[in-house]
Amino acid sequence: MPAINIRTTLPGPKSQAVLDRRDAAVSRASFRSTPVVAASAHNATVTDVDGNTFIDFTAGIGTLNVGHTPTEVVAALQAQAADLIHLCAIVGTYEPYIALAEKLNALVPIDGPKKTFLSNSGAEGVETAIKMARAYTGRPAIVTYEGAYHGRTLLTLSLTSKYALFKKSFGPFAPEIYRVPYPYAYRCPHCRHAGACNLTCFEDLERALLAHVDPAAVAAIIIEPVQGEGGFIPADYEYLRRLRQLCDKHGIVLIADEVQAGFCRTGRWFSFEHSGIQPDLVVMAKSIAAGMPLAAVTGKAAVVDAPHLGGLGSTFGGNPLACVAALKSIELMERENLNQRAEQIGETLMGRFRAWQERFPIIGDVRGLGAMCAVEFVVGPGDRTPNTDAPLKIVGEAYKRGLLLIRAGLYSNCVRTLVPLTIGDAELDEGLDVLEASIAAVA
């Protein structure tokens, strides 16, 4: 039986009533990718208030690698809620916080003593990592990348790229932020026609440390080893290795933002593992806790311990419910070998994407790592001008056919796939068939 079941016009009457209430009660600045109004969800499907069932290729923008409402996580949450919902780690200590910190310290592949600090969201995790790096080095400057997305708070928005969508009218931004080109081969002026990174962009970073900021003033370089919002762009592995060497040379803290790419999404626990490097700090969130609000910074103990006593804190960070959800989610990832499953899903995705690239002239590039894959749309053959209309239309067409999607890319000209790693093969193929039909309708 197909997973998709559309019973009404879309959106249905009950959904439309809720959407009308949203428009009246919620800030109009809050964007929605689709008009779905969810009533329930499980694994890779979402059922709306009208009884329509959709396949979900967004997974809460990468928060649901273990799927919607995994039974064991739900049971762990219910059990924990009966004992302790909240205390605040500033007030006292509770077992789930310590157990999760110990687990993350063991899981993150960095040599030597490690420690962890828990907070609520990816943005809070990034800000915490920046504070750690500045306290450890005594330096102010941060280097970030074009196409980066690190959050929406003032500091993380200062680090984030994609100005018109995220930053317009919100300045002035935090000082001492320096931005350099990301190794994005498809649009790199140095190697776009070669189809592969030739590392010339690394010279741009080296030049920035001469022309824009003294490396002796740089506390940290923060990078997404696979850019998320920027368009699912894996950094060249040699670029990452040279970056590690450069940070070692100048005493700069290397921060890996694994908020979207972490927890098996790319076929490894963390995407930086593919290159063999070891960052100093790793920022995690999203799929760490099956949809519960949680983030973590794990890294070298000397860096994590650098802020003064009382300098780090979070009212809700490391909440007992979120911690038990994380512990159970990690257990599921290990037991079900979701790293291997991510690789299998990625092979299926990329096989279909490459076939579509041959068929549809508006597809300029297809790329990904593990199950973190995207399709980039252009005007047509020989013209790489970003096609910003196609993804919006494809997302709309897919919704009508029962598939939930979301865009990505510096130019918002990509469609990203973030399928739950627990999805079955039949549902994966069904969703891809819908995506193909949606592209065909628009192309």
229-244 tens-digit pLDDT: 999 999 999 999 999 9
Asked if residue 1 belongs to a domain, the reply is no
The residue among 317, 335, 353 that closes a domain is 335
Assess whether 122 and 147 both reside in one domain. Answer: yes
Assess whether 76 and 51 both reside in one domain. Answer: no
Asked whether the beta carbons of 45 and 54 are under 8 A apart, the reply is yes
Asked if residue 67 belongs to a domain, the reply is no
Inter-CA distances, 122 with 118, 287, 393, Å: 11, 11, 29
Assess whether 434 and 331 both reside in one domain. Answer: no
C-alpha 199/C-alpha 238 separation (Å) is 8
Which amino acid appears at position 121 of this protein? S
Assess whether 82 and 214 both reside in one domain. Answer: yes
The 3-state DSSP class for residue 92 equals coil
Assess whether 347 and 290 both reside in one domain. Answer: no
Asked whether the beta carbons of 6 and 404 are under 8 A apart, the reply is no
- C-alpha 4: how far from its chain's center? 26
Asked whether the beta carbons of 286 and 61 are under 8 A apart, the reply is yes
Assess whether 432 and 326 both reside in one domain. Answer: no
Assess whether 152 and 282 both reside in one domain. Answer: yes
Q: Report residue 373 as tokens.
A: 């894959």
The residue among 301, 335, 369 that closes a domain is 335
Asked if residue 141 belongs to a domain, the reply is yes
Asked if residue 46 belongs to a domain, the reply is yes
CATH number at residue 352: 3.90.1150.10
Asked whether the beta carbons of 44 and 424 are under 8 A apart, the reply is yes
Count of C-beta atoms within a 10 Å radius of residue 17: 14
Assess whether 271 and 154 both reside in one domain. Answer: yes
Assess whether 109 and 244 both reside in one domain. Answer: yes
Asked if residue 7 belongs to a domain, the reply is no
C-alpha 127/C-alpha 428 separation (Å) is 36
Count how many domains the chain has. 2
Assess whether 127 and 253 both reside in one domain. Answer: yes
- C-alpha 431: how far from its chain's center? 21
Asked whether the beta carbons of 213 and 219 are under 8 A apart, the reply is no
Assess whether 18 and 35 both reside in one domain. Answer: yes
C-alpha 352/C-alpha 417 separation (Å) is 12
The 3-state DSSP class for residue 53 equals strand
Inter-CA distances, 274 with 75, 282, 341, Å: 34, 15, 16
Asked if residue 33 belongs to a domain, the reply is yes
CATH number at residue 174: 3.40.640.10
C-alpha 285/C-alpha 296 separation (Å) is 6
- C-alpha 270: how far from its chain's center? 11
Asked if residue 4 belongs to a domain, the reply is no
Asked if residue 42 belongs to a domain, the reply is yes
The residue among 306, 335, 364 that closes a domain is 335
Per-residue pLDDT of the chain (443 residues; tens, 9 = 90+): 899 999 999 999 999 999 999 999 999 999 999 999 999 999 999 999 999 999 999 999 999 999 999 999 999 999 999 999 999 999 999 999 999 999 999 999 999 999 999 999 999 999 999 999 999 999 999 999 999 999 999 999 999 998 888 999 999 999 999 999 999 989 988 887 777 788 888 999 999 999 999 999 999 999 999 999 999 999 999 999 999 999 999 999 999 999 999 999 999 999 999 999 999 999 999 999 999 999 999 999 999 999 999 999 999 999 999 999 999 999 999 999 999 999 999 999 999 999 999 999 999 999 999 999 999 999 998 899 999 999 999 999 999 999 999 999 999 999 999 999 999 999 999 999 999 999 999 99
Helix-strand-coil split of the chain, %, nearest 5: 40, 20, 40
Rg of the chain on CA atoms, in Å: 21
Which amino acid appears at position 138 of this protein? G
Assess whether 80 and 49 both reside in one domain. Answer: no
In this prediction, residue 199 carries a pLDDT of: 85
What residue numbers bound the domain in which 416 lies? 13-62+337-442
